[in-house]
Amino acid sequence: MVDLMDIARFALERAVALGAGMAEAYLSAEKELTIEVRDGRVETMKLARDRGLGLRVVQDGRAGFAFTTDLTRAAVEEIVRQAMGNAASTAPDPYRVLPGPAAAYPQLDLYDPAIRQATVEEKIEMARQMERAARNVDPRVKIIETAAYQDAESEVTLVNSRGITSRYRSAYCGLYVSLVATEGDDSQTGFALDYRLHYRELDPRKVGQEAARRAG
């Protein structure tokens, strides 16, 4: 797996080598999983990944920015040149400087490893439990349009030439269900969702029951 910190430091080294007075690299990598179940069967499973590098340089009060989703060294060198070129075309500002490091940073509870550790089958079963719970509340619930589990995790790295070296990870998980309750010619829709930072806090039965009640 590509180390974001190594890429950030390489980008700064190249920017300084090309004459940047100050430089800052912001990298992010994200992964999102969505599982949709209908009638107990997996209908859709999608895993999406996204990553990118944003580079900001300041030279003689002139700022330039460039971005890429290609994290190879050749691509990083290219956006360094782009950022330097963009800086050359902007008006100078003597007060334009990059921030330095803070004395301390707050420690936030943003990443639960249980989200990654849970198996795909366990996540599928959560969606199934939610679907079953909705049907058990009210026999009028005839159609479950979507019962889905979703999670995402991201890593952000920020490094600059003034001494900031920071990274953090975050993740969330959630459930949502959309259904229709019918009686005669009358039909009502119900929808419920719940998103959490901690995997064990998800309650699929509660979400399914809430959607069914809203359609009742």
pLDDT tens digits for range 36-75: 999 999 999 999 999 999 999 999 999 999 999 999 999 9
Tokens of 51: 């990553």
pLDDT attached to residue 154 = 97
Amino acid at 129: Q
| pLDDT confidence tier of residue 11, bands split at 50, 70 and 90 | very high
Instruction: Measure the N-to-C terminal CA separation of the chain; round to a whole number of Å.
Output: 49
Other Cβ atoms within 10 Å of 149 Cβ, number: 27
CATH architecture for the domain at 4-215:
2-Layer Sandwich (3.30)
Is residue 1's pLDDT more than 70?
Answer: no
Q: Which residues contact 61 (CB under 8 A, 6 or more apart)?
A: 92, 93, 94, 95, 96
Q: What is the DSSP string of 46-59?
A: EEEEEEEEEEEEEE
Tokens of 96: 């334009």
- In this predicted structure, what is the pLDDT of residue 185? 84
Q: Label residues 84-122 b or e (16+ Cβ within 10 Å = b).
A: bebbeeeeeeeeeebeeeeeeeeeeeebbeebeebeeee
Nearest by Cα to 197 from 115, 126, 118 = 115
Higher pLDDT, 1 or 214: 214
Per domain, the residue ranges of the chain are 4-215
* Averaged pLDDT, 10-29: 96
Count CB neighbours of 206 within 10 A: 14
DSSP 8-state class, residue 199: G
Mean pLDDT of 153-171: 96
Strand pairing partners for 50?
A: 30
With a pLDDT cut of 70, the percent of the chain lying above it is: 99
- Give the residues across from 7 on adjacent strands: none
